[in-house]
Amino acid sequence: MESEENWVGGPRQLGIGYGLQQSRQINKTAARGFTLVEVSLSIVVLMVGVLSITSSTLRIDALRRKNHDSAIAHLAISQVAETLQAHAAKARFEVDGDNVNTWAESFLSLAQADYGDGFRVTGFTPLLGASEAGSVQFITHEALTDEDLEVLMGMPRDLNRDGDSSDTDVSEDAHLLPVIIRLAWSGPNGEEERVHPIWVQGD
Partner 1 sequence: MTKTSKHSQRGSTLIEVTFSTAILSVLLLSIFGVLERQGQLGTATLSTAITENRAIELASRLRRELVSARGKRVRCVLTAPISAGASGSGSVLEVSTTTGFPPTGTLLVDSGTGSFERIEYASLDLDEREFGELSRGMGGTIASSHSVTSEWIWWSGMACPVEGAAGVDQGTAWLNGREVPFRGDGLGFSYRVPVDLDGGVGMPDYLDGLEPAWGAITRSGPDGALAPNGSGWCAISYEPNSEITEVEFGSDINKDGDESDIFEIGRLVKLTWDTLDPLVPVHRQALGPSCLLQERDAPGADLNGDGYEDPLFLWDADTRILSVRLFLFARGLPDQPTIRIIDVRVFLRNAFEEVSE
- Given the rule CB under 8 A, which residues bind partner 1? 28, 31-33, 46, 50, 53-54, 57, 60-61, 64, 67-68, 71, 74-75, 78-79, 82-83, 85-86, 89-90, 114
CB of 51 to partner 1, least distance (A): 10
Paired with 182 in beta bridges are 135, 195
Q: How far is the CB of 82 from partner 1 (least distance, A)?
A: 4
**Is residue 141 within 8 Å of residue 169, measured between CB atoms?**
yes
CB 65 within 8 A of CB 187: yes
Q: CB under 8 Å to 183, separation ≥6 — which residues?
A: 73, 76, 77, 121, 124, 133, 134, 135, 193, 194, 195, 196
Comparison of 142 and 192: residue with beta carbon closer to partner 1: 192
Q: How far is the CB of 86 from partner 1 (least distance, A)?
A: 4
Nearer to partner 1, 8 or 31 (CB): 31
Pairing of strands 125-126, 190-201: unpaired
Least spacing, CB of residue 94 vs partner 1, in Å: 12
